[in-house]
Amino acid sequence: MIQRIGLIGDPVAHSRSPAMQNAALMHLGIPARYELWPTPADALPARITMLRASEYLGANVTLPHKTAVLPLLDDLEPATVRIGAVNTIYKRADGALVGTNTDAPALLTSLREDGQFEPGGQRVVLLGASGAARAAAYALVTAHVERLVVVNRTLERAEKLLADMMLAQLDPLPHLIVLALDDPDVPAYIADSTLLINATAVGWQAEEMPLPTLVVARGMLVYDMVYRPTRLLREAAVQGARTLDGLGMLLHQGALAFTYWTGQPAPLTVMRSALLSA
């Protein structure tokens, strides 16, 4: 029997995950395939129920379902409870559906390996308050950044994100600040930071900017989770910043998920090559 794994989200057509996951499955001779499962919000419960069938190994979860999926699962890993977002679902031996989050460790790996950037002690501005931003905030807090400023269009969502980080009893906590996107202090905080992360989807399908004004310090790192060159990265580079897109994060989160589903070490070289060719 060919087993199945897929990406649950809306939309999903843009994803490169099938290329890297199917290359890894084929390389190791695992009889499974990775598919795209476009899933509107009202179809999410049925999609999760589908995973309980024996032919399914698990799934990835992307926008807009990373938080909505939480109550539909049987169990969550402890760090995932603290993050408040799921990007990977796997099955335990008893068939239970377990939610985990491979985005958080993948972000740190990408920053350290691809960006040659150690987050500890740094001043960071994080754009967004979605599931991806939650994973980033958790990763940065556990890496002991000095200051974390969360900027979001809706102030309430950013406040909820940081409130959840505080409730998670992570110690020590950095200096935490929440700002609305149109707050006049946003440019000054960005200019005084060593890392700017875009965890929004703005810039994926068009030449949009996640910020009305971009002022960055020369030499700082600007990281966009969108895994292709974006206007944000181009404009940051013109101002003398170092830039990094989200391809490395995509690779490392996918590799961790692969091991959850198959129990085997992910062939990183094979997966990276497939991503670059996609």
Which active-site residues does the annotation give?
66
The answer to whether 145 and 177 are in contact (CB under 8 A) is no
How many angstroms separate the CA atoms of 31 and 261, rounded? 12
Quick one: tokens of 13? 């057509």
Pick the closest to residue 2 from 39, 31, 34 (CA basis). 31
- Specify which residues 123 forms β-bridges with: 147
Backbone angles phi, psi at 138, to 5 degrees: -60, -45
The torsion region of residue 60 among left (phi > 0), alpha (psi -120 to 50) and beta comes to: beta
147-152 and 123-127 strand pairing: parallel
88-91 and 97-100 strand pairing: antiparallel
